[in-house]
Amino acid sequence: MKKFVRNAALMAVALASFCLMSCSSSKSDTIKIGGIAPLSGGVAVYGIECKNGIDLAVAEINAAGGINGKNIEFICEDDEGDPAKSVNAYKKLTTQNGIRMMIGSLTSGCTLAITNLAQSNGVIQLAPAATAVAITDAGNYIFRACYTDPFQGKVGGKFAADNLGAKTAAVLYDIQNDYSVGLTDNFIERFTSLGGTVVSKESYSTDDKDFNAQLTKIKNANPEVVYLPDYYGTVALIAKQLRAQGIDVPIIGADGWDGLTNNAGDEVLNGYYSNHYATDSDSPAVQKFVSSFRGKYNKAPNAFAALGYDCVYMLRDAIVKAGTTDAAKVRDALESTNGDYVTGHLTFDEKHNPVKSAVMIKLVKGSNGLDTAYEATVNP
């Protein structure tokens, strides 16, 4: 009896060891990529669309055999657009899930909250849409797929002067938002360098709802264009009050406007914004992506979807080039990126910022409401 019990115990230990090895082997058959995005909250459209683009890329790559024979396992956490929750999401992904490569977060504040952590831990962080200059200052494990605020602020200034022929401009911006402030400074710098004059510069605070006092001053200054560098929710509110005051000049913004087509009305017509790609581009890569995205989600992909999609393929290409998932070696391979993606031909500069052009998008009336159309490609 004792011998039987002893043998049974040995068999149990062996079985447990076999299961442990099997589970470990199973886990090693996937390549884990983490994600942090606002899947709920005030800027949820950014995170949801980005995740949709990421999920599409992961599905395509896995269907084609994965990366070096291994499928991608994407694990995403919701930070609700809150930097403190971005930190919690980062810690969960790295400690509980063993993540060494991640995509996110989306807004600059949330992304900046974790760049130093990622750098100190040797975790690759690829930011799809965080445009603040300081994002990549943390070190050589931090990359971004989008251009910076100075770049698109200058693009907006050049577009106003060269493409719209404006000689005067007004600016209305959020003084508490680094994104809005950075865009404002660089718009003014480029616009004035091209001979333009800023006739009114007005500010408001985050979460303000009434902009009529500032808009009255802008109306009295009689600008030829108005620059509104903020996120789509605030821009929609401002645009209603701006048009109600009879200000019918063109309005210009940046990539934070992406989402207006589903959150605004005719008040944003005669509006233009800098963005990372145009759905109506004739690029084969763009058309393939747009077609696949429509097939999966039954709608057109915005720039956040395209940037998330590109992030996955950039990591895929770097892992293939490195021949390993070792974060340091993948980082080295990522630095030498030189290829065509949905948002353009992309290389990285010495600060891991992408080198590529921007497009200007026009808001237009479509068959089912607001739509967008490619307007111009601009280099600052």
Q: What is the pLDDT of residues 212-270, one digit of tens each?
A: 999 999 999 999 999 999 999 999 999 999 999 999 999 999 989 988 988 999 999 99
CB 330, CB 349: distance < 8 Å: no
270 half-sphere exposure, CB direction, 13 A CA radius: 14
Low-confidence ranges of the chain (pLDDT < 50): 1-27
pTM: 0.77
pLDDT of residue 366: 87
pLDDT above 70 as % of the chain: 92
Query: Rounded to whole angstroms, how far apart are CA atoms 50 and 341?
Result: 15
In terms of Cβ atoms closer than 10 Å to its own Cβ (0-12, 13-18, 19+), residue 84 is: exposed
> In terms of Cα–Cα distance, which of 373, 358, 363, 370 is closest to 157?
358
pLDDT of residue 66: 97
Stretch (H or E) spanning 24: helix 2-28
